[in-house]
A and B are shown apart, each in its own frame.
Chain A
Amino acid sequence: MANRYGSFAGGYRFRRFAGQPEASLAEAGLPARTAVPLRSRFGTDLAPLVKTGEKVKAGQVIARDDKTGASLAAPVGGTVEELKPAAWLGGKTKVAAVASDGSAEWVPLSGHAPDWKALNGDTLRDLVRRAGAGELPAEASHLVVQAVEADAYSPNPAVLLEAWGQEAFLEGLAILARALPGARLHLALSQPRRALLERLATAARQAGLDLEPRALSRKYPQAHPVALSAAIFGKKQPGGVLVLDLQTVFHVRDAVVLGKPLIERVVALAGPGFRRRPHVRVRVGTPVGSLLEGYLRPNRQSRIVVNSLLGGRAVADPAEPVGPDASVLIALPENAEGGFLSFATPGFTSDSFALAFAANILPLARRCDTNLHGEHRACISCGFCESVCPVGILPNILHRYVQRNVIDETLVRFQIFRCIDCNLCSYVCTSKIPLGRLLREGKEKLRREGLGPREASS
């Protein structure tokens, strides 16, 4: 059973995309200026605690929501130069521009403790919250730490482990185990990382942690909580599963042990638009434009996409900052040209679910760009979307209802709310129908009509 690994039905494996991130770590250094949207993880606006011209230290809380306690730290020490809405954020939420004074130091969080074993769960949770590293629940039955490489481009977990060190990983894990007593610990990596997985599980066992190693498929969207649960727990899904990505474990550890707020991320650079693609340690708030300057290919126009080509978002303005949730920045070449007789070319580097290209039998890296690669047509029921759907619904049937604006219980009965917005249906569609968007529209309209699932409507 050496080759058994967890998986889920459906999904699609993005093979050999050109421009994978390199297994190296670079330091971006301190940015001259950072931009910090005064907004919580949940999209609520935070009230500023500083004024324009005021001097701040890195790690100092500069905005807070008194109701929820959500707070935001300055990512660099220096001067608050501006405090006003930015066009790239819709022009409503305020953005603090903090100019760096060149000092890399930061103010530690109060109450942090290198001997954290004396702290109780609530104190740990509070530290993590104040660090901006996330919201830990009071209890969970399972904690899944994941660094699955299932997207076209994913960060390399080995590089993250090297950046912080294995000890930091084990420490972070131990802190989480203490904050979530009774939770079973799982570590989910992709199947080719089996050796690393075993090494970490053994090290965890020696440190007294019962860590379940989970080698999972590389099919997209394996990193999504629904696909993770399906692969790890099978049909009997337990409640109370908490999924954290690997880097969050390090942030938790840094917050509790060092008192370091989330002011730094390791971000992988990927995609054909880059000349060099290391993982970069970068201060949160660094403008994407200035971060990528030295890395982008000079003669090629690329679109920068954050975190996922299928489910991520595009950076519209180079002034947009690296967010606290950024893990990959992808430089996707623009292609508004199509190609001469493109439908009839052998397709040596064309990625496709249909095995209709030479790339399917050749070991060449596949190219990617922003082109639609075809023209919009009516659905021909080829069934590709059904084959790849990770939650087993029928996008080809559902989209017809939404297109005709027939929004009623039928859609709910056909399980439209199981859709996890992975966008794979849109990706594989032969007729280039934006199925993912249509399904989102359908769900939204249903919710507005009060036909949403119970937890959403109450």
Chain B
Amino acid sequence: MKLLRSLFAALGKARLLRPFKPVLHTIEGILLGNRDTNLEAPFIRDHIEIKRYMSMVILALLPAVVAAIVFYGWKAVAMIAVSYVVGGIVEVLFALIRKKEIEEGFLVTGLIFPLILPPTAPLWMVGVGIAFGVFFGKEVFGGTGRNIFNPALVGRIFITIAFPELMSARWQKPFTDAVTAATPLGLFKSTRTLTPLMDLLLGQVSGSMGEIFRLGIIVGGLFLILTRVANWRVPLAYLGSLAVFSWVGHLAAPQSFAPPLFHLLAGGLLFGAFFMATDPVSSPATKAGKYVFGVVCGIVTLLIRTFSGFSEGVMFSILFMNAFSPLIDTLVLNAKYRTAKV
């Protein structure tokens, strides 16, 4: 510990390394923690910090990551590695240019992004997507905490639009080399066939790399909620509204609306509801706003899945509602403090 301290003190003085100060400081922060103390009340502080907070998200993602690696082998490892390396370079470059700290949020973005890609995505596309997501989704707004959209989703939507044939027509079931054309949602849309729920739960279907092992996602999501890192309101409202409206829809028009359990387990819904809609930065800050956000996300997802040309609508609905988050917060605050007179 003392040795490391003096090493960093020496490195900090080296003139050659001066431009890399943010990097050095970040490594020092990771290894040795912060030396600042509280000079005024409160004299004690909670042990939670952003590093730990983000680590909890990564911990919660582990079941999905392990499943992706088991299902797709080295391809999955390579995709995650490319995402971290390219995203990391963008993040570090920005930290150096802005002379600010490297922010921990990127560790989550860099892991979520490959997990929401089809396993057939070429590695160069992973790099392009994460670079675009980190740059346009986060850095241009000023970094973590100031971004309007979920950076991983910004990257995903960019490559979806830029390379549609690669992104929508090539899916691969776990443990097979066969490239199929349809996900369970796509199958329902084209042929009205319902994939067995057990296959969905255990991931024996095609889909994005990290979204198919749904059992693990549910476990990870519940873990996040139990640790209070993810707020329970968003996933509850999101999943609840989708379940209710698809149930009503299925009763009214079973030919257009799939049954609620299928909706809940198919596609990227669980992953999106637990890991992306809960992103505290890009979702509303107020409690009531979180309910509104979740409910509308559910409705938009259902509408896109049922009536649009796309078979999946989780990504679009979350990004769409990200844009409305500040407005929702403003409306909630105005309603809450409307009658308040001081």
| Chain A positions 323 through 355: 1 when the CB is less than 8 Å from some CB of chain B, otherwise 0 | 000000000101111111111100100111111
Which stretch, A3-11, A77-85, A431-439, touches the partner chain B? A431-439
Interface residues of A in 93-127 (CB under 8 A from B): none
Chain A residues with CB under 8 A of B103: 377
Say whether, besides A386-B287, A423-B42, A375 and B35 are in contact (CB < 8 Å): no
Chain B residues with CB under 8 A of A424: 42
Interface status of B176 (Cβ within 8 A of chain A): no
Chain A residues with CB under 8 A of B228: 353-356, 384, 387
B45→A432 contact, CB < 8 A: yes
Chain A residues with CB under 8 A of B317: none
A374→B51 contact, CB < 8 A: yes
Say whether, besides A352-B48, A384-B228, A372 and B34 are in contact (CB < 8 Å): yes
Shortest Cβ distance from residue B227 to the other chain A in the assembled complex, whole angstroms: 5
Shortest Cβ distance from residue A132 to the other chain B in the assembled complex, whole angstroms: 25
Chain B residues with CB under 8 A of A138: none
B280→A372 contact, CB < 8 A: no
A370→B37 contact, CB < 8 A: yes
Q: How far is the CA of A432 from the CA of B145 in the complex (A)?
A: 13
Chain B residues with CB under 8 A of A394: 285-286, 333
B342→A351 contact, CB < 8 A: no
Interface status of A154 (Cβ within 8 A of chain B): no
Chain A residues with CB under 8 A of B48: 352-354, 356, 373-374, 384, 428, 430
| Chain B positions 98 through 125: 1 when the CB is less than 8 Å from some CB of chain A, otherwise 0 | 0001011100000000000000000000
Q: Number of B interface residues at 8 Å Cβ cutoff, please give it.
A: 53
Say whether, besides A350-B47, A394-B286, A430-B50, A383 and B231 are in contact (CB < 8 Å): yes
Interface status of B49 (Cβ within 8 A of chain A): yes
Interface status of A429 (Cβ within 8 A of chain B): yes
Interface residues of A toward B: which range? 35 or more
Interface status of A371 (Cβ within 8 A of chain B): yes
| Chain B positions 33 through 55: 1 when the CB is less than 8 Å from some CB of chain A, otherwise 0 | 11111101111111111111101
Say whether, besides A337-B35, A453-B342, A374 and B41 are in contact (CB < 8 Å): no
Interface status of B1 (Cβ within 8 A of chain A): yes
Chain A residues with CB under 8 A of B146: 378
Q: How far is the CA of A382 from the CA of B52 in the complex (A)?
A: 13
Q: How far is the CA of A370 from the CA of B35 in the complex (A)?
A: 10
Interface residues of A in 377-422 (CB under 8 A from B): 377-384, 386-387, 394, 396-397, 412-415, 417
Interface status of B161 (Cβ within 8 A of chain A): no
Interface status of B56 (Cβ within 8 A of chain A): yes
**Cβ-closest chain B residue relative to A379:** B145
Q: How far is the CA of A282 from the CA of B56 in the complex (A)?
A: 48
A383→B285 contact, CB < 8 A: yes
A371→B42 contact, CB < 8 A: no
Interface residues of B in 14-68 (CB under 8 A from A): 29-38, 40-53, 55-56
Chain A residues with CB under 8 A of B40: 434, 437
A343→B51 contact, CB < 8 A: yes
Shortest Cβ distance from residue B323 to the other chain A in the assembled complex, whole angstroms: 16
Q: How far is the CA of A430 from the CA of B104 in the complex (A)?
A: 12
Q: How far is the CA of A69 from the CA of B161 in the complex (A)?
A: 80
Chain B residues with CB under 8 A of A334: 37
Give the residue of A340, A344, A352, A430 whose beta carbon is less than 8 angstroms from that of B55.
Answer: A344
Interface status of A217 (Cβ within 8 A of chain B): no
| Chain B positions 144 through 158: 1 when the CB is less than 8 Å from some CB of chain A, otherwise 0 | 111000000000000
Say whether, besides A343-B55, A394-B285, A354 and B145 are in contact (CB < 8 Å): no
Interface status of A427 (Cβ within 8 A of chain B): yes
Interface status of B218 (Cβ within 8 A of chain A): no
Give the residue of B37, B44, B53, B329 whose beta carbon is less than 8 angstroms from that of A354.
Answer: B53
A353→B46 contact, CB < 8 A: yes
A377→B50 contact, CB < 8 A: yes
Interface SS, B side: loop
Give the residue of B46, B55, B286, B329 whose beta carbon is less than 8 angstroms from that of A428.
Answer: B46
Interface status of A86 (Cβ within 8 A of chain B): no
Interface status of A368 (Cβ within 8 A of chain B): yes
Interface status of A309 (Cβ within 8 A of chain B): yes
Chain A residues with CB under 8 A of B85: none
Count chain A CB atoms within 10 A of each CB in B33, B40, B104, B145 and give the residue with the most: B33
Interface residues of B in 272-288 (CB under 8 A from A): 280-281, 283, 285-287
Interface status of A426 (Cβ within 8 A of chain B): yes
Chain B residues with CB under 8 A of A387: 228
Shortest Cβ distance from residue B90 to the other chain A in the assembled complex, whole angstroms: 18
Interface residues of B in 146-187 (CB under 8 A from A): 146
Shortest Cβ distance from residue B66 to the other chain A in the assembled complex, whole angstroms: 19
**Cβ-closest chain A residue relative to B26:** A375
Interface status of A255 (Cβ within 8 A of chain B): no
Give the residue of A335, A356, A397, A432 whose beta carbon is less than 8 angstroms from that of B333.
Answer: A397
Q: How far is the CA of A353 from the CA of B42 in the complex (A)?
A: 15
Q: How far is the CA of A374 from the CA of B53 in the complex (A)?
A: 11
Q: How far is the CA of A334 from the CA of B142 in the complex (A)?
A: 35
Q: How far is the CA of A142 from the CA of B32 in the complex (A)?
A: 53
Chain A residues with CB under 8 A of B342: 412-413, 415, 417, 453-454
Chain A residues with CB under 8 A of B41: 308-313, 423, 436
Chain B residues with CB under 8 A of A332: 43-44
Count chain A CB atoms within 10 A of each CB in B32, B48, B53, B286 and give the residue with the most: B48
Interface status of B140 (Cβ within 8 A of chain A): no
| Chain B positions 216 through 245: 1 when the CB is less than 8 Å from some CB of chain A, otherwise 0 | 000000000011110100000000000000
**Cβ-closest chain A residue relative to B233:** A383
**Cβ-closest chain B residue relative to A387:** B228
**Cβ-closest chain B residue relative to A343:** B51
**Cβ-closest chain B residue relative to A413:** B337
Interface status of A369 (Cβ within 8 A of chain B): yes
B35→A336 contact, CB < 8 A: yes
Given contacts A340-B4, A343-B51, A384-B48, 17 further A-B contacts (CB under 8 A): A308-B41, A309-B44, A312-B41, A338-B34, A340-B31, A341-B30, A341-B33, A356-B48, A373-B46, A373-B48, A378-B144, A379-B145, A386-B286, A427-B42, A430-B48, A430-B50, A432-B49
Residues of A within 8 A of B (CB): 152, 303, 305, 308-314, 332, 334-344, 347, 350-357, 368-375, 377-384, 386-387, 394, 396-397, 412-415, 417, 423-424, 426-432, 434, 436-437, 453-454
Q: Can you list 20 residue pairs at the A/B interface with Cβ under 8 Å?
A: A309-B44, A310-B41, A344-B52, A354-B229, A356-B52, A357-B47, A370-B44, A371-B45, A375-B34, A377-B101, A378-B145, A380-B53, A380-B105, A394-B333, A397-B329, A414-B333, A430-B46, A430-B48, A430-B53, A454-B342
